[in-house]
Amino acid sequence: MENINSRFQMKDTFFSELEEKIRKVVLPYQEAVLRDEVEGVAKSHAIDNFRAAAEMLREGSCKEEFYGMVFQDSDVAKWLEAAAYSLQLCPDAELEAHCDEIIDIVAAAQHEDGYLNTYFTVKEPGRRWTDLSECHELYCAGHMMEAAVAYADATGKTKLLDVMCKFADHIYDHFIIKGNPGFPGHEEVELALLRMYRKTGEEKYKELAAHFINARGDGGAFFKKESAERGWFLWGKDPAAPEYNQTHLPVREQKDAVGHAVRAVYLYTGMADLALETGDEELKQACRNLYQSITRKRMYLTGGIGSAYEGEAFTTDYHLPNDTAYAETCAAVGLCFFLRHMLRMEKKGEYADVMERALYNGVLGGMQLDGKRFFYVNPLEAVPGTSGVAASMRHALPERPGWFACACCPPNVARLLGSVAEYAYSVEDGALYQHLFLGGTIDMEKEFGGKVTVECDYPRSGHILYTFAPDGAEPMDVKLAVRIPGYAKKVQILRNGSVFVPDIEDGYAYIQGLFRAGDSLIVNVDMSARRVYPNRHIAADTAKIAFLRGPLVYCAEGTDNDGDVLGLRVSRTAPIRELPGEAPDGMPMLTVAGSRIETSDELYSFDAPEKEPVVIKLIPYYTWGNRGLNEMRVWIPKE
């Protein structure tokens, strides 16, 4: 799979500003947290854990204890990966030097036999590979493998890649050559090994990925046996909880998305990637079935997945509570991973539609607009004084913290946003596919004989302009496939000012022909705001309405509605109006007529509530929580 960043120059009115924020604010802030240099936030100590591990290897002991979660190493890995994408978009000598220093620290913590994990080097020496269920060794390995590939792509430097090849060889030796049983409790290494395989050409990495995927599905038998034999535990969770870690059925037989949502979509990503590499039709169909389960019955409007705090997990069909929603940011990130690989497997516009929804709402909503505060959990309704306070809602915070003791989400957001071009475009079978609308110039010299430039102000506007720059006097022979968004009531395509009717298949408009310098192609996507209605089986949303404009889900926040959102009732028929630039982040605000009910002070009353007409103001969901403590609601009751 080609690295699109290597041939793409971004110039986008939305994501270019976001990438600059990541480079100038998010990455420096997160690095400072990882170095324990930010006061008032949860301590990380992740980089110092690697220093301690290196000292342990040199001296036989170390002055500092391991600190943090068992998977603390992965925070460093994800930050390095995010930094690599930033370097590829915008070379930065200072950032690269910081990365090189951290890579040196990581490399020094590697054992002679290739093993690399600070928790087991510092805190539990002698117990490696004895708690695959809970201890995340393979998960941490996978994230560092992804960072190694990304950094080699960005800089040409292979020190971290060499380190991780040595570790991958160690893992192969342990599980394949020596035949030790087991597979990851928390999936991730599967998809990472496939990235390593494509980068290095080492067939054994693909073999190892397939081994871990195919070994799942024993109904929890291995983890139960492992727990009984080792005589110690990390958290003491039920080792035979097969749905939680997707071991309930062999992967080709799984049809319903179950268990820990992040683990699930990381697994499904590896499955889709392996299916593409091997042509395994059973595995492809399993991925289709799991996609259907998620998107038809177990996904929030925002693209959030995993509705339960208990186990950070999928629950049952249509169980999508709003105020207690878990909808972990990492799960939305992982859903984007899965859908990107589904698009590689087969070109269906609906995969890109859902990926876009998850990106603009479930992922972007996880980060404060200033880049320094983050949501782990993304509720669709917040009530100050209850959200984050009541026993059943302590996870559903109404404001973003600066960091977390379990800090998987902040660097995950950074690495996805830094590589957004990889999700927007792909070059396959001599054609340029546009899955997401992202402005910039892509070098198609090999395929088309020139460059294609895309200009847009998406998602503020649905006007997308394509222009062409042939290398010489001859026209470019262009093969372009543009997604037609499922939310749009209509899409118009113009070629050199005249209406053009392309072939449309599975949500993509296929445009082929000769284009000269000065020729243009315009795609006008209807971005009109629309009401969204829930399935009748979603109990939490009965008799409620939500609003969507383009890919953006909208919500009502107290700041814009006299501090009271819970009392609002929205008209089913009143026109929806747009106020350009009035919402946070320069996005359009929506207004629609409705009413506010006023009740008595009694807990229950026989008197019907009074109501007064109001104009309800709505902002993009990803921008909520940036203006102080507020009520917020996505689904609003009908009048």
The secondary structure of 22-85, three-state, reads HHHHHHHHHHHHHCCCCCCCCCCCHHHHHHHHHHHHHHCCCCCCCCCCCCCHHHHHHHHHHHHH
Tens of pLDDT, residue by residue over 19-31, are 999 999 999 999 9
pLDDT-based confidence at 235, cuts 50/70/90?
confident
Q: Determine the pLDDT at residue 357.
A: 98
> Any residues with CB less than 8 A from the CB of 241 and at least 6 apart, and which?
220
Residue 236 has pLDDT above 90, yes or no: no
Considering the four listed CATH numbers 3.40.190.100, 2.60.40.1180, 3.40.605.10, 3.60.21.10, the one that applies to the domain covering 429-525 is 2.60.40.1180
Residue 410 has pLDDT above 70, yes or no: yes
Tens of pLDDT, residue by residue over 440-459, are 999 999 999 999 999 999 99
Angle at 569 between CA 563 and CA 575, to 5 degrees: 105
Residue 2 has pLDDT above 80, yes or no: no
> Any residues with CB less than 8 A from the CB of 547 and at least 6 apart, and which?
529, 530, 531, 532, 553, 554, 576, 590, 592, 618
Strands 632-633 and 530-532: unpaired
312 is catalytic: yes
pLDDT-based confidence at 5, cuts 50/70/90?
confident
Give me the residues paired with residue 433 across strands: 426, 481
* Of residues 494, 427, 420, the one with CA closest to residue 458: 420
The interaxial angle of helices 137-155 and 189-200, nearest 10 deg, is 30
Residue 239 has pLDDT above 80, yes or no: no
d(CA 34, CA 504): 48
- The number of angstroms, rounded, from the C-alpha of 575 to the middle of its chain's C-alpha atoms is 34
pLDDT-based confidence at 429, cuts 50/70/90?
very high
172 near 204, Cβ under 8 Å? yes
| One-letter identity of residue 111 | H
Mean pLDDT taken over the chain: 96
* Of residues 484, 166, 191, the one with CA closest to residue 333: 191
Q: Determine the pLDDT at residue 3.
A: 80
Cβ–Cβ contacts within 10 Å for residue 513, how many?
Answer: 15
d(CA 618, CA 621): 9
Q: Determine the pLDDT at residue 322.
A: 98
- Which of 146, 312, 356, 381 is catalytic? The answer is 312
Residue 252 has pLDDT above 70, yes or no: yes
Give me the residues paired with residue 498 across strands: 495
Q: List the domain boundaries for the chain.
A: 10-233, 248-422, 429-525, 530-637
Token pair for residue 71? Answer: 């998977």
- The number of angstroms, rounded, from the C-alpha of 260 to the middle of its chain's C-alpha atoms is 15
pLDDT-based confidence at 1, cuts 50/70/90?
low
Q: Determine the pLDDT at residue 238.
A: 79
Residue 315 has pLDDT above 80, yes or no: yes
Tens of pLDDT, residue by residue over 259-277, are 999 999 999 999 999 999 9
- Cα-Cα-Cα-Cα torsion 382, 386, 388, 389, nearest 10 degrees, comes to 180
- Which of 62, 287, 408, 409 is catalytic? The answer is 408
Share of the chain above pLDDT 90, in %: 96
- The number of angstroms, rounded, from the C-alpha of 232 to the middle of its chain's C-alpha atoms is 34
